[in-house]
Amino acid sequence: MIALVPLIPLFQVADPQLPATEGVFLIGTVVKMLIVFSVYMVGVAMLTLAERKISAWIQDRHGPNRVGYGWLQPAADGVKNIMKEETYPGTANLPLFVLAPAISFIPAMITWAVIPFASPLPTPWGRIDMVVADLPVGFLFCLAISSLGVYGIVLAGWSSNNKYALLGGLRSSAQMISYEIAMGMATVCVLLLSGNVSISAIIQQQATMGWNVFLLSIAFFIFLVASFAETNRLPFDLPEAESELVAGYHTEYSAMKFSLFFIAEYANMVTASALITSLFFGGWDIPFTQWDNLPPFTVLKTILTLGAFLTKVLFFLFFFMWIRWTVPRFRYDQLMSLGWKLMLPLALAYITIIGTVVLVLDRAGIARGPMFGAILFGMNVVLVVLLFVVLDRGRIVSPAYSRLDREEVARLRNMSLGKSTLAEKKV
């Protein structure tokens, strides 16, 4: 109690438009953490329901409709998973086996700390930024933390001491490393435009120049595809491909530990949607107006921008589910060739193009504003059309339903027999 006494002067009434003092900042951060965490967890629980309802809608079924007309299904699932018996494989590496579900879930949640979700909120004690921690290295923090998610899956696969689980873990680590590179390269373009790695700065740049999805369309496509691979969602769910690996890395898990992997998948989806929103769709920016970005900040602005942010995130969550029930799973060689032979070179080429254009426009003395954005948009339309023309010939990525020609079959057979490509050329 005595320690609290010197804190009282810190809560003096201050200008609502200026940043809050230390004490208010501390309390505000704790409140923000609690709110974001609760909303996030409830949201993730409701997403499992949303996925089942949307899948039912797409497949022309009813979906869950018994427990509270379907609305209480997540609660029923939760209770069931907690009540169930937890089984441990006899030869499992127990510490890592227990640790793995937590490691796969926590990184997805930590990433939310740096994502701004509304315009600053004015309070009687000063202005409070609507982000848990506005790190100056915000975006790099996201990349660093999301690259750790792979450990959960890899450790789950290894510690289960089960060959299907191990195969799932190996597939997942190979897949995530491959697509992480393409993802990182795609975001280099975003950093080229914003000139800063703080997510608030990236959102501010999009408010003045236009959303990055129009300025950097190809980078957006690469990021979108890579985030499907990073979240292990269809069409990239090879780590848990049921038809090949039983259930992949979580074969040996039961009850709440299995449920944690399930929650982690949805948590990753939410985080990926929020990142796509922040990097390419202007974050909490309301389109066609500058009203929301400029001070003075009001409570109304905070509520409206929060609405804009949530709308965008929910759209991408829907998009994730939509794709899941539309597109079949890739073959493993298709997955690898898409990542390494198409997306990575494409991202590198795109960085070069964007870098050149930005340099030329800067030298030409065009200010970073709507005009700058319009020129980039025009260039992107041309590039996207060119890219679609090239891709549509079906040479780079052969569709899953296309028949393999004889040479391709021979090549795949050689691969499975362990013959190298050099030997194949001699034949």
Which residues would be at the binding site for another protein (CB under 8 A)? 6-7, 10, 22-23, 26, 93, 95-96, 135-137, 140-141, 143-145, 147-148, 150-151, 154-155, 157-159, 166, 169-170, 173-174, 176-177, 180, 195-198, 201, 419-420, 422-423, 426
What's the min distance (Å) between Cβ of 93 and another protein?
Answer: 7
CA distance 110 to 133: 11
**Closer by beta carbon to another protein, 110 or else 213:** 110
CA distance 115 to 198: 10
Quick count: other Cβ atoms within 10 Å of Cβ 215?
Answer: 26
What's the min distance (Å) between Cβ of 288 and another protein?
Answer: 28
What's the min distance (Å) between Cβ of 179 and another protein?
Answer: 13
**Closer by beta carbon to another protein, 97 or else 280:** 97
**Closer by beta carbon to another protein, 199 or else 270:** 199
CA distance 330 to 238: 8
Contacts of 264 (CB under 8 A, 6+ apart): 101, 104, 105, 108, 149, 152
Show the tokens assigned to 309. Answer: 């942010």
The residue whose two tokens read 């500058």 is: 290
What's the min distance (Å) between Cβ of 162 and another protein?
Answer: 13
Cα torsion at 11, 15, 20, 24 (round to 10°)? Answer: 20
Residue 245 · residue 276 · CB < 8 Å: no
Cα torsion at 25, 281, 330, 398 (round to 10°)? Answer: -150
**Closer by beta carbon to another protein, 132 or else 313:** 132
CA distance 131 to 143: 17
For residue 251, what is the enclosing H or E element?
none
What's the min distance (Å) between Cβ of 4 and another protein?
Answer: 11
What's the min distance (Å) between Cβ of 331 and another protein?
Answer: 21
CA distance 112 to 120: 17
**Closer by beta carbon to another protein, 115 or else 321:** 115
CA distance 54 to 152: 28
**Closer by beta carbon to another protein, 77 or else 180:** 180
**Closer by beta carbon to another protein, 155 or else 218:** 155
**Closer by beta carbon to another protein, 355 or else 378:** 355
Positive or negative, the CA dihedral 112, 114, 118, 121 is positive
What's the min distance (Å) between Cβ of 352 and another protein?
Answer: 15
What's the min distance (Å) between Cβ of 180 and another protein?
Answer: 8
Positive or negative, the CA dihedral 225, 267, 248, 244 is negative
CA distance 50 to 231: 17
